[in-house]
Amino acid sequence: MRITLKMALYLLIGPSLVMAQDSPPSGQPDPPRQSLAGTEDFAPSSHATTYPSHQAIQILVPRQTAALLPLRPPRQPPVAAGYTSEFKVSTGYSVTDLGMPSSDRATLIGMNVGISLDSAKRFGAKLDLGYGSAPNVFSSGHRLDVLSYLVGPVLLVSNSKQLSTYAHLIVGGARVAGPFPNANGGLSTSYVHSPAWAYGGAVEHAFSNTFAFRISVDYLRTHFFNSSGAVRGQNGLRVVNSIVYYPGAPSNRRRR
């Protein structure tokens, strides 16, 4: 009978003890567990970093590191049509119809040399050197000489693959020498060195990668003596036919 009472008491109290061992009180850490090898797992130190077991650790890996990025030069905007630098040298002959202050006219035949540079825009600059002469002016056996040196801006009006048009305004000086009527009814010979200027335009046709043909028409303003011996302005219409040479690489010659 006593043995039966002990067994009944054991069956009532035993499950309660097992449940108390399996469920630790709330807020208390789990007791150290015993590994299969007979050693105990110790809790990590306070200096170690622990992660919750239910959270995944996300490691961000860049797609392409800075060291592996290709070194590419910055992209430059394309050059617009008609906007590249261009250096030109031209030479040709000129014909000038000159109205003299003494109410007479002379036709001067000569030559012209030009050096021009077009900038990265539609504007450029031009140096113009011209010389013309007319023989036997006033039936005197003397010739009239006009030497001009002018410089100024150039405007590109239009441009295509082979044909270009320009406008220019150039200023500088001129030396005019030759005979002129005097107050006594005879002729005198002298020269005038005075300011001069010209404005006009040109048409240029390229027939190769290096050469072109240009026709320019200018209104030319110079000074000379009248019949009273006073210096007055004289007007001339000058036509120049030139061969244009493009130094440097032919690929830089035409503006696309």
Instruction: Work out the pLDDT band at 170, boundaries 50, 70, 90.
Output: very high
CATH number corresponding to 86-252: 2.40.160.20
What amino acid occupies position 66? A
The pTM is what? 0.64
How far is 24 from 134, CA to CA, in rounded Å? 127
Q: Given this model, what pLDDT does residue 253 score?
A: 46
Residue appearing with tokens 């005038």: 192
First to last CA, the chain: 121
pLDDT (tens digit per residue) in 11-57:
555 554 444 444 444 445 555 554 444 444 444 444 444 444 445 44
Q: Given this model, what pLDDT does residue 168 score?
A: 96
Instruction: Work out the pLDDT band at 69, boundaries 50, 70, 90.
Output: very low
At 190, list the tokens.
């002298």
**pLDDT at 238 exceeding the cut of 90:** yes
The structural domains of the chain, with segments of one domain joined by +, span 86-252
Q: Given this model, what pLDDT does residue 118 score?
A: 80
Q: Given this model, what pLDDT does residue 1 score?
A: 54
